[in-house]
Chains A and B, each alone.
Chain A
Amino acid sequence: MDDMKNNWKIIPPFHPEFDLERCDYKNGCKICVTECSFGEISLKPEKGKDGEIQYRPWSNMSACNACQRCVKMCPQNAIHIAFKPMHTSHGYWTSDYVGNLWRQTGKSGGVLLVGTGATGPQKRYFDYMMFDACQVTNPSIDPLREPMEIRRYLGSKPERYGEKIGPQLKLEVPIMFAAMSFGAVNIRVHEAEARASQIVGTYWNTGEGGFHKNLRQYGGNTIVQVASGRFGVSEDYLKSAAAVEIKIGQGAKPGIGGHLPGEKVSKPISETRMIPEGTDALSPAPHHDIYSIEDLRQLIFAIKEATEYKIPVAVKIAAVHNVAPIASGIARAGADIIVIDGFRGGTGATPFQIRQNTGIPIELALSAADRRLSEEGIRNRVSLVASGGIQCSSDVLKLICLGADAVYIGTPVLIALGCGVCQRCFTGKCPYGITTNRPGLAERIDVESATTALVRLLMSWSEEIKELMGSMGISAIEALRGNRDRLRGVGLNEEELKILGIKHAGT
């Protein structure tokens, strides 16, 4: 039986390799051992020249996730992470599929969990769309000399001047921080997001885990979420924010609820979520009071009533096949903002199969929804926010050209704080102290420097966006919303071009 155990043994594809020439172990350094929160590195005793016992770092070959924490923290730069997967000789049964089966049959016996967004080979449409630029007939605009405006207002707008204009969110940059709940991330991350939003003039989203009382001073830059678990939702909560977002779904796990294990529900989390300490926080898959669009309408207006129609109400959905008619329905149900989250969107924990196989790319979903709303003549009524898989500033601008009023970014926020995208957020052992509330780990986030990093993230992307706009001869970003003329497809087929609403390069 014990022998049998080894049938399921998996050696992780990554492990740290130590350059002992550089390593300072002889002087007693063991930084990497303490830094690795996954327990990959241990100390191995060794006899030195003069016979004295020394401890050198040793890779256990059992837990490394290539998060790069030890690499970054080693003062001697003596570590690099090697990638040596257990190969199979089979071209179809690759180590990914084989490894997952061994994991399920040997250990978990259940659903494979994973963090961050989908990794599959599906096309990144961003890469197949190129911007236009001004040449001769049309001067480009130099952002260093001319004002470039990237401010956006999110919220419902009437058809014509003179009619009542709904409550608006003012964004100085077309980028907001996506929903990540307290519990999934820790309060330090929330505080950094809140502060950076306030400094730059944009919004962050609490996610579904409530809004910690210590951060309420940032309410003017906060969007609070109402999700199926209704954690932390009270009249006070709704009124404390600049906008309320009803979360129907998210790109990383469309149609799936959430689960924060009881051991993670510490005192502050239990208070903020308004659940007993140590109990599992379960978000059901659907809202138990929303079984159709008219139910959503009731919830939207219940929230509007509670907040006296003073703040916009957003509805967030995952990008799914029928996204266009769903978006139209949500607009007609009275939402001021619709958030569409593509299948590449990140998460703290999602079933692997759902993450990899459910939903559609944001580029196509957004374009379809924008077109549908325009065709129905109700595009003014709602703002569209796109998210899920945005990796750089040009992605942001391409989504704006496809009809987005603004975007949400999540994974780039984590990466700005150090995250090495190791996909192990659900373990609660985040080596960068981001997706963990463990004492000792969470302190790895310093709110001051995290805030600075997030401000830099927004500012650098804004500068790049202005450069891109200048080269296209655009000085106000609203002239780019839905402006598919500024994009051309390269290597896309007719159907794809039609859905994106763009022409192929050369035409």
Chain B
Amino acid sequence: MCGIVGIINTDRKLIDGNYIREAIRIQRERGNGLGGGFAVYGAYPENKDKYAFHIMYEGSQNNPYISMVEDYIRSRMVIYHSEQIPVYPNDRIPRGPYFKRYFLKPLAEFLAPEQTEEDYIVEVVMAINKMEGAFVVSSGKNMGVFKGMGYPEDIADYFRIEDYRGYMWIAHNRFPTNTPGWWGGAHPFTILDKAVVHNGEITSYGTNKRWLEMYGYYCMLQTDTEVISYIYDKLTRGDKLPPKDACYVMAPSLWEDIDRTGDEKKKNLRQIYGPAIVNGPFGIVLSHSNGAIVLNDRNKLRPVVCAKAGNTFYASSEECSIRLLSPDVDNLWSPRGGEPVIIDFSVEDTQELRGRKAQWSLW
């Protein structure tokens, strides 16, 4: 099962966390209290040029591995600021791991020749995740993830997400079926600024994982979500495919249709990226600084509804979440299996974007 919600304002207008909390709360039925989480974009405008690391440490703040991890970070990055992420234990979630937030930048001279800053960050994240007792919850610029064990509304209260404001929010309500519930295993799962919430169980996991391993991605968490975000990252960042093509690789059309239309590009994409095809039921919202992607498996074995009201775009497992936020939403539809909905802000800066129409594409 699992429930997902996304709220995306293409004008980059900021809203607080209350909206998403309510939207995912009414999908309580879709989870079982073993995981909930949120990703927010636009949360750290004053530090938007730095990588915001949310790191989860097991145990309390006195644990020795915190300083080990921080020593490692200091050896690779410049720490501009670090602080404890405030938490508000309550009777539903009385305790949790220790969370810290860092604003970081790599120093240019640390980069290996031909290594991009993003490659470098991925390397650092992978290294920290391999370390004892620490887990990077998010690592993108001007964004952050809050997640843990519990129902999502309780997690929201635990972190008081109403104190954060963002132009894009995604949320997840977990009903784990393949990996045990733990704080780090909740969604969203992230790499750099890409965050994924996912409802499904991927049967192509073994094939996807082997393919990713050829390119240095190690699937440590053994979760489907991790695999999807890595595939997307490899295709868009590594192979420079546009989001549309990356989605096509994960949920391609039938050979029959490719034959009929004689589309060479689609044929080649499917031939080359066969091992990156994602099979099994899934509905995902994948967000990144400049937009989001909503994608369903080819057979549409999981529910996803999309809607648009003014300049706000919604995606959800259940229509009720959208109706709650926007009772008279003008345009609501259920995307077909394998046909991604791509929201692309296209323009980097909020100022410039204002007054422009963001690019919508239905494909």
Contacts and interface: CB of A to CB of B under 8 A. Distances in A.
Given A137-B177, A138-B280, A473-B281, A151 B206 contact: no
B238 A160 contact: yes
Contact of A484 (B203, B206, B254, B273): B206
A153 B271 contact: yes
B241 A161 contact: yes
A50 B213 CA distance: 85
Given A161-B241, A165-B271, A479 B203 contact: yes
B270 to A, nearest CB: 8
B272 A165 contact: yes
Contact of B245 (A138, A161, A165, A479): A161
B279 A475 contact: yes
A475 B299 contact: yes
Contacts of A486: 203, 206
A500 B176 CA distance: 29
A380 B210 CA distance: 12
B7 interface: no
Given A147-B256, A149-B254, A474-B279, A480 B298 contact: no
A138 B240 CA distance: 32
A377 B214 contact: yes
Contacts of B273: 161
A205 B252 CA distance: 31
A478 B276 CA distance: 9
Contacts of A377: 214-215
A interface secondary structure, majority: loop
Contacts of A136: 177
B207 A138 contact: no
A306 to B, nearest CB: 25
B277 interface: yes
B274 interface: yes
B87 to A, nearest CB: 31
Interface residues of B, number: 39
Contact of A485 (B205, B239, B269, B278): B205
A374 interface: yes
B269 A474 contact: no
B301 A139 contact: yes
A473 to B, nearest CB: 4
Contacts, number: 101
B201 interface: yes
Given A377-B214, A485-B205, A478 B275 contact: yes
Contacts of B213: 374
Contact of B279 (A153, A479, A484): A479
A104 to B, nearest CB: 49
Nearest to B201: A138
A22 to B, nearest CB: 53
B271 A483 contact: no
Contacts of B269: 161
Chain A, interface size: which category? 35 or more
Interface string A110-152: 0000000000000000000000001011110100001101010
Given A138-B280, A151-B255, A474 B274 contact: no
A103 to B, nearest CB: 48
Interface string A454-488: 00000000000000000011111011111111100
B203 A134 contact: yes
B268 interface: yes
A387 interface: no
A379 interface: yes
Given A137-B178, A160-B238, A379-B214, A482 B206 contact: yes
Contacts of B47: none
A168 interface: yes
Contacts of B18: none
B207 A479 contact: yes
A171 to B, nearest CB: 11
A432 to B, nearest CB: 37
A157 interface: yes
B204 interface: yes
A141 B210 CA distance: 24
Interface string A389-429: 00000000000010000000000000000000000000000
Contacts of A475: 279, 298-299
Contacts of A478: 207, 270, 274-275, 277
Interface of A: 134, 136-139, 141, 146-147, 149, 151, 153, 157-162, 165, 168, 374, 377, 379-380, 401, 472-476, 478-486
Given A149-B254, A165-B268, A475-B279, 16 more contacts: A137-B177, A137-B178, A138-B203, A139-B301, A141-B299, A161-B272, A165-B272, A374-B214, A379-B211, A473-B201, A475-B298, A480-B207, A481-B207, A482-B207, A483-B206, A485-B206
17 contacts: A134-B203, A138-B203, A139-B301, A149-B255, A157-B274, A165-B271, A168-B271, A473-B203, A475-B298, A475-B299, A476-B277, A479-B203, A479-B207, A479-B277, A481-B207, A483-B205, A486-B206
Per CB-CB distance, the 6 closest pairs between chain A and chain B, nearest first, are: A485-B206, A478-B274, A479-B204, A479-B279, A483-B206, A137-B177
